[in-house]
Amino acid sequence: ARSNVYKPPVDFPDSGLTAGEVVELVLSALRNNDVPSPDYGIEILFGYSSPESQIVEQMETEGLKPSQYRTFLSMSADNMALFEHATAVIDKADFSPDSLKGYFTARLMEEGGSSKNDVSVNFILSTAGTNEDDCWLIDSMLIRPSKLRRRRRR
């Protein structure tokens, strides 16, 4: 049985993880953002952000810090699901023909909440190659709020 106690990773990024495991790890880190220290979860997200990502671009050009990114995320209620969800499930996983890009959709669920409040997060990940030391890194993370999905269904 797997314990539900969150243990933050010490070494990251970890080339031993699959693309799906990176998505799960990052979502779990954000859910436990202040374990063991404030914004450590966002530090993990930063560590798994690819050179193609906006995060790395802003780190390099503007010196973006985890606390600033948290403030930015906190400005939108939809983004708060990253920190406040109870569980996350991967709904969809596709890979490019060359296997160097992964396209994942994760669903963030509230504690005992109704599924209409679920928030979807689209991840695009990439890896430089298939060698043992190549890591899966996140190119983009797009939050799709529940309201949009409900509206579309009518």
Predicted TM-score (pTM) of the model is: 0.90
pLDDT value for 154: 42
145: nearest Cα among 127, 123, 118, 126: 118
Report the alpha-carbon distance of residue 139 to residue 127 in Å, rounded. 10
- Per mean pLDDT, which range of 24-38, 46-60, 132-146 is the poorest? 132-146
pLDDT value for 112: 77
Contacts of 57 (CB under 8 A, 6+ apart): none
pLDDT at 24 over 80: yes
List pLDDT tens digits, range 69-102.
999 999 988 899 999 999 999 999 999 999 999 9
pLDDT value for 77: 84
Segment 99-124 shows an average pLDDT of: 90
32: nearest Cα among 84, 68, 76: 84
14 with 135: CB under 8 angstroms?
yes
pLDDT value for 3: 55
User: Across the chain, what does the average pLDDT equal?
Assistant: 90
Q: Which whole-number Å values give the CA distances from 104 to 36, 40, 124, 144, in the listed order?
A: 27, 23, 6, 13
Please give the distance of CA 103 from its chain centroid, rounded to a whole number: 12
pLDDT value for 33: 97
Report the alpha-carbon distance of residue 22 to residue 65 in Å, rounded. 21
Question: What number of other Cβ atoms are within 10 A of residue 57's Cβ?
Answer: 13
* Model confidence band, residue 152 (pLDDT cutoffs 50, 70, 90): very low
pLDDT value for 83: 96
pLDDT at 1 over 80: no
